[in-house]
Amino acid sequence: MSRENTLVGLDLGTTTIRVVVAQPTEGQPQQLQILGVGEHSADGISKGTITSIEDAISSISSALEQAERMTGIPVTHAFVGINGTHISSQEVHGVVAVAKADGEIKEDDVERVIEAAQTTVSPSNVEVLHVIPRVFTVDNQKGVKDPIGMSGIRLEVDAQIIQGLQAQVKNLTKCIYRTGVEIDDLVLGVLAASESVLTKRQKEIGVGLVNIGASTTSLIVFEEGDVLHTAILPVGAGHITNDIAIGLRTSIDVAERVKLEYGTALPNEVGKRDEIDLAEIDPKETGVVSRRHVAEIIEARVSEIFSMLDKELQKVDRSGLLPAGIFMIGGGSKLPGIIDVAKREFRLPAAVGTPLNIITAVDKVHEPEYATAVGLAFWGLALQSAGTGHGSKFSTVNTVLGKIRGWMKNLAS
């Protein structure tokens, strides 16, 4: 098997590290063949932040080794997902004079205006992860999507900057480098996931993608093909487990198993006398609990998470207004009944998202918790095709390229 062209996605979660090794297929539209995966429980990582460098390195190495054993391909490079509540986004504006005397706007001008927008923020303790141009203005003509080749004297851009705390970003990159893997690119997890789960058409008409992880829930909203909003909340499916542990006065491990084996977000669909015998889960536990009570605990937390997400939609005036609806990924999206609660809370169509356009013999890649790792490989594919001129010039992926390369080297040292 050829080792060139291999794209590796590395998703560092609070509970699980996931690696996906992929290769592009021939022909159009391009798909990804997933050759193998690696998965290891995550130590030393919480809420997207490294809490112990040594533990994180050892977990990442184990996941990488597993993928290498499965594919027979050594992992030397990876597209790495970044997540965490230290990540924030900000709207910025940049202005430059067009360089050429004849006033024709070149790629160079676009790069400069994006650079100018970026320098309007950036305190010294943050790293810019992505600069996503939303719209350009050429002289007084507003609403320009692609200004290259147009004539003008003054070029402006409205862009969104996604940034993370430098210390956290540095710890993350340090861990990856110490496993002997080079970082191809560092990508906001939910942004990468959108590359594998959402279609172009959905991003055009308006859609939200929600990643319900163990300790974080992240959201990205698209409209007219652009990123409209991103948010990372410090709550996830692990909080449901904690609520069950408190409600039932059991250990976290027992609560997790109650959730996975008997959990649902729809208490009304559980019979009043439906009971869970805790001794069946753990012989050390005694007593029976009402399954409906457990469902009520779950529903309360899920509704709370969704109402926090809806507040984020309100910030961009899209509450109840995304025609393509909400797609959910991450382990938390597998909770029975969650789709109904999402439809109710968001007043929108809702579904669980799974990676699209993949060919694979590895079944679990189709699960929603693999969407981020697969999306990272798709991010790599989009970068490749942008490099060869196949990609759209102003795809989210392409415009973000280049910014990252420069600073990543600095961080490695």
Ligand X SMILES: Nc1ncnc2c1ncn2[C@@H]1O[C@H](COP(=O)(O)OP(=O)(O)OP(=O)(O)O)[C@@H](O)[C@H]1O
Binding site for ligand X (CB under 6 A): 13-16, 48, 83, 213-216, 236-238, 241, 256, 259-260, 263, 330-332, 334-335, 369
User: Alpha helix locations (H) across 324-370?
Assistant: 338-346
Cα 26 from Cα 32, distance rounded (Å):
9
Instruction: Name the DSSP letter for residue 145.
Output: S
Cβ distance to ligand X smaller for residue 257 or 403: 257
Partner interacting with residue 94 (select from Mg ion, ligand X, none; CB below 5-8 Å by kind): none
State how far Cα 332 lies from the chain centre: 14
Which secondary-structure segment (H or E) carries 261? helix 252-262
Contact between 133 and 394 under an 8 Å Cβ cutoff? The reply is: yes
Which secondary-structure segment (H or E) carries 239? helix 237-248
- Three-state DSSP at 335 gives coil
Enumerate residues 6+ apart whose C-beta is below 8 A from 230.
Answer: 87, 89, 160, 162, 188, 190, 191, 218, 219, 220, 221
Cβ distance to ligand X smaller for residue 40 or 292: 40
Least Cβ distance, residue 332 to ligand X (angstroms): 4
Partner interacting with residue 236 (select from ligand X, Mg ion, none; CB below 5-8 Å by kind): ligand X
Partner interacting with residue 267 (select from Mg ion, ligand X, none; CB below 5-8 Å by kind): none
CA-to-CA separations, 245 to 242, 278, 279, in angstroms, rounded: 5, 12, 15
Contact between 84 and 13 under an 8 Å Cβ cutoff? The reply is: no
- Three-state DSSP at 133 gives strand
Least Cβ distance, residue 353 to Mg ion (angstroms): 13
Q: Which stretch binds Mg ion (CB under 5 A): 13-21, 72-80, 171-179, 249-257?
A: 13-21
Cβ distance to ligand X smaller for residue 6 or 14: 14
Q: Which residue has the tokens 């997902």?
A: 81
Partner interacting with residue 152 (select from Mg ion, ligand X, none; CB below 5-8 Å by kind): none
Which secondary-structure segment (H or E) carries 34? strand 32-41
Least Cβ distance, residue 278 to ligand X (angstroms): 18
Is the alpha carbon torsion for 305, 336, 257, 281 positive or negative?
Answer: positive
Binding footprint of Mg ion, residue count (CB under 5 A): 2
Which residues between 387 and 406 bind Mg ion (CB under 5 A)? none
Partner interacting with residue 216 (select from ligand X, Mg ion, none; CB below 5-8 Å by kind): ligand X
Cβ distance to ligand X smaller for residue 23 or 333: 333
Least Cβ distance, residue 241 to ligand X (angstroms): 6
Cβ distance to ligand X smaller for residue 133 or 189: 189
Least Cβ distance, residue 372 to Mg ion (angstroms): 6
Partner interacting with residue 299 (select from ligand X, Mg ion, none; CB below 5-8 Å by kind): none
Does a cis peptide bond (omega within 30 degrees of 0) precede residue 74?
A: no
Q: Which member of 8, 10, 13, 18 binds Mg ion (CB under 5 A)?
A: 13
Q: Which residue has the tokens 């006033």?
A: 103
Least Cβ distance, residue 392 to ligand X (angstroms): 29
Cβ distance to ligand X smaller for residue 225 or 247: 247
Per-residue x/- track, 210-249, Mg ion (CB under 5 A): ---x------------------------------------
Q: Which of 223, 285, 206, 203 is nearest to 251 (CA)?
A: 285
Q: Where does this chain bind Mg ion (CB under 5 A)? A: 13, 213
